[in-house]
Amino acid sequence: MIGTWVSILPPLIAIVMVLATKRVLLSLGSGILTAALLVASFGPVETVKNVLTALTVSFWADGGLNTYNIFIMIFVLLLGVITAFVSLSGGSRAFAEWAVRHIKTRRGAKLLTVLLGLLIFVDDYFNALAVGQVSRPITDKHKISRAKLAYFIDSTSAPICVISPISSWGAFLIGQLALILGATAAVNYSPLSAFLMMAPMNFYVVATLAMVFFFAWTNIDFFAMKKHEEAAQATGQLFDPEKEIPGQLKEDFPEHNYGRVMDLIAPILTLVAATLGMMVWTGHSAAQTWDIWAIFENTNVPLSLVTGGLIGTSLAAILYIAQMKRNETASFRLVGKALTTGVKAMMPAILILLLAWGLTHLIDILETGPFLSTVVEKSNIPVNFLPVIMFILAGLMAFSTGTSWGSFGILLPIAGTIMVNAAPELLLPALSAVLAGAVFGDHCSPISDTTILSSTGAGSNHMDHVATQLPYALIAALIASFGYIVLGLTGSVWLGLVAVIVTIVVLFTIWTAKSKRTVKVTT
C-alpha cells in the first residue's frame, strides 16, 4: 500500500471529515487511525503501535527529543501566557483604546494588519502569532471579525516568507536550489540570484497579496467571510462564542483598565527583538560567518522562538508585578492565574498541532507525496503545460499532506530534473510554480500547521478560518493557473505576469462595480 493510490486515503478522509463535521480533533484522529491501519497492513498490534508513535512523534523521534516540534509548542504556550499577562495588566485594553483614537477607521485597522504581516517576514510561525498579538485589539475595536483577521495573517505570512531571501523559508529554498542547479550545466546563475528571479514568477503570491490589499482597502467580501463580517459589524459578534477558539481567555479572567500601552508594546517588541537576535546568533554560531545568507540558512528557528518567547513573557510578568506598587488590585495570586489561563487558552491549538504532525508522520511513511509526484513523471504531458501542472500538483500535495515544506522537498528536485532535460528555459518558472502551488495547498488545508497557527494567532475558530479563506485562495489559484498557462504557451514570464495583473484588475473592477450597485439598491 505504500507509495500507491491507497496512500492518499488518510489525508483525504481527514480533510473530508473536517469539512463535513467541523470537528477537527475527531477528523485528524480518524486520519491517523486510517493511516496506522494501512501502514500496519491492518495488523491490530502494529496498528496500535503506529497510533502511539503518531501521538508521541512530536516529543520523541529518531531516538531523541524532537526539539523542533517541542520548541514550537512551547512558543505557542508562551504566546498564550503573554496574552494573559498583557490582558491582566490592562495593556490590551490600553492599546485598543489608543488604537481607536489614532486608527479611526476599519480600513486603517485592516491595512495595519496587512502591513505588519509583510514586515515580519523572517518566519511564518512567528509572523502568524506575533501579528495576531498586536492586531487583535485593534481589529476587535473596529468590529473586524476574527475570521477576517485570520485571513489577513495567513495570506501574508507564508506568501511573504516564500519570496523573502532573509527568512527561514528563503534559507531552506536557496539550499534546495543549490542542489538542483549544482547538478546541471544548463544554467549559469547562483542559487540566490535564481531565488530572486523566481519571485515575480510566483503568480499565486502576486494574486494573493493583491487580493489581501483589495479586501483590506474595501468592505467587499464573499461567501462565508461576508456572513462573518456582517455579523461583526451589525452585532459586534467577532466569533461564534459556542465554538472552540484557541487563544481565547476565559470570561472570568480579570482584566483591568489601569494599564498602559507600554504593557503590551514592550513585551511584543522585546519578543521580536530577542527572537531576531537569537536567529542571528544561532545562525552565526553554526555557519561561523557573518554572511547574512549563511546565517539564515543555518539559524535555529524553534530555539530562537522559545528564547524570544521566554524573554517576552518574563518582561510581561515584570511589568505586571511592577503595578503592585501603584495599584492595590494587582497581586501575586493573579500571576499564577495568568500562567495557568494562558496555557489553557492555547491547549486546543496544541492538540490540533499534535494530531496534525502525527498524521503527517504516517503520511510520510505511506509516501503519499512521492506517489503524487510519479503521476506527473509517468504522464505524457506537453512541456509547455508543465509549469501549470507543477502548480496544481504541488497544491494537491500540500493540501493532502498539510505541509508546504514537504512538498518543496519532494517536487523541486523532480521539477528540476524534468525541466532541465525537457525545457531548460522553463526551469525557473516550473520551480516557482512548485513554490506557488505548495503555498496554495497549505492555505486550503485544514491539517496545515500554518493554517492552525494563523487561526490561533487571530483567536478564530479553526474551521471558520478554513471555510472563509478557501474561496479566496481558490480565486487566487485560478488567476495563477491562467498566468502559468500563458507563460507556458508564450515562453514569456512577463506575458504570464501581465496576464495575472490584467485578470486581477478586471476582477477588482467587476467586484467594485457590483458592490456599488448593491449599495445603491439597499439605499
**277-294 pLDDT, tens digit each:** 998 999 899 888 888 777
pTM over 0.85: no
Provide the pLDDT for residue 236.
85
Percent of the chain with pLDDT over 90: 34
| pLDDT tens figures, 89-120 | 888 778 777 877 888 899 999 999 999 889 87
Torsion angles phi and psi, residue 181, rounded to 5: -75, -30
Lowest mean pLDDT segment, chosen from 6-15, 293-302, 388-397: 293-302
Query: What integer is the mean pLDDT of 460-486?
Result: 95
Alpha helix (H) ranges present in 199-240? 203-217, 223-235
Q: Cα separation of 98 and 351, whole Å?
A: 35
- For the chain, the residue count is 523
Q: Cα separation of 299 and 223, whole Å?
A: 41
Provide the pLDDT for residue 33.
93
| pLDDT tens figures, 31-74 | 899 999 999 999 999 999 999 999 998 898 878 888 888 988 88
| pLDDT tens figures, 318-345 | 988 887 766 666 677 778 888 888 888 7
64 strand-pairing partners: 61
Provide the pLDDT for residue 499.
97
Across 74-104, b (16+ Cβ under 10 Å) vs e yields bbbbbbbbbbbbbbbbbbbbbbbbbbeeebe
Confidence check: pLDDT of 296 > 80: no
Check if the beta carbon of residue 204 is closer than 8 Å to that of residue 438: no
Residues near 51 by beta carbon (within 8 Å), at least 6 away in sequence: 32, 33, 36
